[in-house]
Amino acid sequence: PEQIDDQIRAGQAQLAANQAGVAQAQATVSEANAQLARLQEVYRLSNGRVPSATELQTGRANAQRAVAALRTAQANVAAARAQLAQSQTQRSRSIIRSPVSGVVLARQVDPGQTVAASFNTPTLFVIAEDLTKMKLEVAVDEADVGEVKLGQGATFTVDAFPGRTFPARITRVDLGSNQTVSAATASTSTTATTTTGQVVSYAADLSVENPTGQLRPGMTATADIVTSDKKNVLLVPNAALRFKPAAAGAGQGGGIAGSLTFRPRRDRPERTATVARGATQTVYVKGADGQPQPVQVVTGDTNGNVTEVIGGNLKPGQEVITGQLASGDAAAGGSSRRSGAGGQRRQGAGGGQ
């Protein structure tokens, strides 16, 4: 661009000089025509005695030469204008304009670097068009992807604002896993790759409102996707579902959660009991004789700590046994209650940007 600017300045100077030459040539033409007219008038008044024919011929020749010089100067002006227009066109083409208004996140070219138009257009800048609306990319574990649907709500946290949660909503869930993408990449690569032992996950996009601009592109986030939101449900501790009277061991304290957070991870430890939705299971309450009495319940959603009871004979407020003391006495470590604020079943999603 600097070289083109120099050419434009030189062209402008040349055009000005040529325009001055035109003005001078026009003055010369006027002077030659006036001299020729004077000679012709004298020739008329003297009845052809003066001036001589040679002087008249010289005057006519001078006038013709002046006109020719004027035309040459005008041609020079036209050429200078054409050269200046060409330089200005080159400068306009050397300016690269962004197709959108936004914020430059990254510059991938250096000053002075040559950029040529080609089929493989290089990336010059990374531009964020609107930071008030952002996208969160997360990886959903294969064990949880069946519960994830478009339009579901979610919350996420970022390291920059510990303790704060931000709302989001699912807008896309990939049908192909990360292993599918890896296999497709390997098929087009000369180097063979393997995905043995790799965690299988599915990419999902979440829309995020960012009106204050606190969230920035590239931040790492951990998302919780709400797959079930229920209110006024009967809950029991999962420890009560695992308890068997014959097993001796320390009881785990149970409790009621108003908001249940389910964070499955690929590296989470295996649970000792499987809680299936719609399954009939047994919990134990302390009978009148002090011995555990079985009560059948039908389980619903769970968050890994407490489980919804959707059927059976268990009543709200009944104490359930979650463990047994070493002496053999049952320990009532939790009670069945209705969650006042409602329970939310959440699926954990891996970190994303």
Upper half-sphere CA count for residue 248 (Cβ side, 13 Å)? 5
Q: Give the model confidence (pLDDT) of 7-63 as tens digits.
A: 778 888 888 888 898 899 899 999 999 998 998 888 888 887 888 888 889 999 999
Using CA atoms, how far residue 149 sits from 125, 170, 308, in Å, is: 34, 7, 21
Question: Which structure tokens are listed for 150?
Answer: 């478009």
Q: Are 210 and 129 in contact (CB under 8 A)?
A: no
Q: How far apart are CA 352 and CA 107, in angstroms?
A: 23
Quick check: 300 pLDDT over 50? yes
Q: How far apart are CA 229 and CA 312, in angstroms?
A: 21
| Domain containing residue 72 | 2-94
Could you list the beta-strand ranges (E) of the chain: 103-107, 125-128, 133-141, 153-158, 166-177, 201-209, 221-230, 234-237, 280-286, 292-302, 306-312, 319-320, 323-324, 330-331, 334-335, 337-338, 343-352
DSSP one-letter code for 45: H
**SS3 assignment, position 22:** helix
Average the pLDDT over 269-294 and give the result.
77
User: Is the domain of 257 the same as that of 313?
Assistant: yes
pLDDT score of 261: 37
Residue 124 located in a structural domain: no
Residue 112 located in a structural domain: no
Q: How confident is the model at residue 159 (pLDDT cuts 50, 70, 90)?
A: very high
pLDDT score of 176: 86
Into how many domains does the chain fold?
Answer: 3
Q: Are 304 and 265 in contact (CB under 8 A)?
A: no
Whole-prediction pTM = 0.49
Residue 99 located in a structural domain: no
Residue found under tokens 């040539």: 25
User: Is the domain of 160 the same as that of 216?
Assistant: yes
Q: Give the model confidence (pLDDT) of 76-129 as tens digits.
A: 999 999 989 988 888 787 777 888 777 888 888 887 777 776 656 677 888 887
User: Is the domain of 237 the same as that of 335?
Assistant: yes
Q: Provide, for the chain, the percentages of residues in helix, strand and coil under a 3-state DSSP scheme, each rounded to the nearest 5.
A: 30, 30, 40
Residue 172 located in a structural domain: yes
pLDDT score of 334: 60
Residue 175 located in a structural domain: yes
Which of the two residues, 49 and 328, has the higher pLDDT score?
Answer: 49
pLDDT score of 221: 93
Quick check: 295 pLDDT over 90? yes
Quick check: 185 pLDDT over 90? no
Q: How far apart are CA 322 and CA 255, in angstroms?
A: 10
Which of the two residues, 10 and 325, has the higher pLDDT score?
Answer: 10
Give residues with Cβ within 8 angstroms of 232, minimum separation 6. Answer: 338, 339, 340, 342
Q: Examine the fold and report which residue of 48, 73, 94 is the final residue of a domain before the chain moves on.
A: 94
Q: How confident is the model at residue 190 (pLDDT cuts 50, 70, 90)?
A: very low
Q: What is the mean pLDDT of the chain?
A: 78
Quick check: 350 pLDDT over 80? no
User: Is the domain of 318 the same as that of 239?
Assistant: yes
Q: Please tell me the total number of residues recorded for the chain in this structure.
A: 353
User: Is the domain of 168 the same as that of 269?
Assistant: no
Q: How confident is the model at residue 339 (pLDDT cuts 50, 70, 90)?
A: low
Q: Examine the fold and report which residue of 94, 121, 151 is the final residue of a domain before the chain moves on.
A: 94
Which of the two residues, 183 and 159, has the higher pLDDT score?
Answer: 159
Q: Are 148 and 161 in contact (CB under 8 A)?
A: no
Q: How far apart are CA 278 and CA 281, in angstroms?
A: 9
Residue 127 located in a structural domain: no
Q: Give the model confidence (pLDDT) of 240-274 as tens digits.
A: 999 888 643 434 433 333 333 334 444 444 444 55
